[in-house]
Amino acid sequence: MEGLPAHSAAGGRTARRRAAEPRSGHVSNRRIVCWRHGQTLWNVEHRFQGHSDIVLDEVGIAQANRAAALLAALRPSMIVSSDLRRAHDTASALGRLTGLDPYTDKDLRERGGGEWEGLTREEIAARWPQEFAAWDAPGGEHVVDVADRVATAVRRWAGELAPGGLLVVASHGAALRLGIARLLGLPEELWSALGGLGNCSWSVLEEGRKGWRLLEHNAGTLPEPVHSDDIPEAAEDRP
């Protein structure tokens, strides 16, 4: 189960490069890969991890290495991860293959679980039946706060990319799902329509004239070139 100041990463390197803003009306084609960390023992035991700093298990390490080999083929421009070890170690597997040192950002942490952290679903349901039904942990973070926190951090890092650049964000299941929903501009009542991410799976977003759009979700293979049936963005702008 599942913070960054304006120009620096908490506990990590400082982003010094600021890409020039694209011209008005120009599509930058910047992309973001939102990559969930590999498996941990608490994932297997269905324990709420939240901000608890749980490491990858052997399966999770293998997952990270296997996924990194695929994502390296996309030639990322920048890698940033949550400061929690399960996400940072996942990002480091990609960093070793690409020569990029991952930045860290505490604003990419998982949703804080309050009193639920370390407990199984069964334990939570038995002790807090009403809160469990609403998935609202006592002392934990509200989903809107998590969505805003993660989306703001991702936008900030994406702003460092040159046009055509690719950012890989290694983070956590709930944090990424909520952040993606906010980046897509989905109303809160539709957030649950966006399914979760499996361990070491990823979603791909691309920036267009009208904001971010979802190209792939919960993928475990490289994006394949397809003949899209989307309406061209220029046509979408017509009245």
DSSP string, the chain: -----TTB-TTS-B----PPPPPTT-----EEEEEE---BHHHHTTB--TT--PPB-HHHHHHHHHHHHHHGGG--SEEEE-SSHHHHHHHHHHHHHHTPPPEE-GGGPPPP-GGGTT-BHHHHHHH-HHHHHHT--TTS--HHHHHHHHHHHHHHHHTTSPTT-EEEEEE-HHHHHHHHHHHTT--GGGGGGS----TT-EEEEEEETTEEEEEEEEE-SPPPP----PPPHHHHT--
Question: Above 80 in pLDDT, residue 25?
Answer: no
| 43 marked among binding-site residues | yes
Percent of the chain at pLDDT exceeding 90: 77
Percent of the chain at pLDDT exceeding 70: 81
Q: Sort 75 into a burial class: Cβ within 10 Å, 0-12 / 13-18 / 19+.
A: exposed
Model confidence over 59-102: pLDDT tens digits?
A: 999 999 999 999 999 999 999 999 999 999 999 999 999 999 99
Question: Above 60 in pLDDT, residue 19?
Answer: no
Tell me the range of 60-64, 193-197, 228-232 where mean pLDDT is highest.
60-64
The residues assigned a catalytic role are: 37, 110
**17 falls in which pLDDT band (50, 70, 90)?**
very low
| 135 marked among binding-site residues | no
Question: Above 80 in pLDDT, residue 230?
Answer: no
**124 falls in which pLDDT band (50, 70, 90)?**
very high
| 98 marked among binding-site residues | no
**10 falls in which pLDDT band (50, 70, 90)?**
very low
Question: Above 60 in pLDDT, residue 202?
Answer: yes
**166 falls in which pLDDT band (50, 70, 90)?**
very high
Question: Above 70 in pLDDT, residue 164?
Answer: yes
What pLDDT score was predicted for residue 200?
A: 96
Model confidence over 30-39: pLDDT tens digits?
A: 999 999 999 9
| 49 marked among binding-site residues | no
Question: Above 60 in pLDDT, residue 9?
Answer: no
Distance in angstroms (rounded) separating the CA atoms of residues 23 and 30: 14
| 36 marked among binding-site residues | yes
Question: Which domains are present in the chain?
Answer: 31-44+56-114+142-221 (3.40.50.1240)
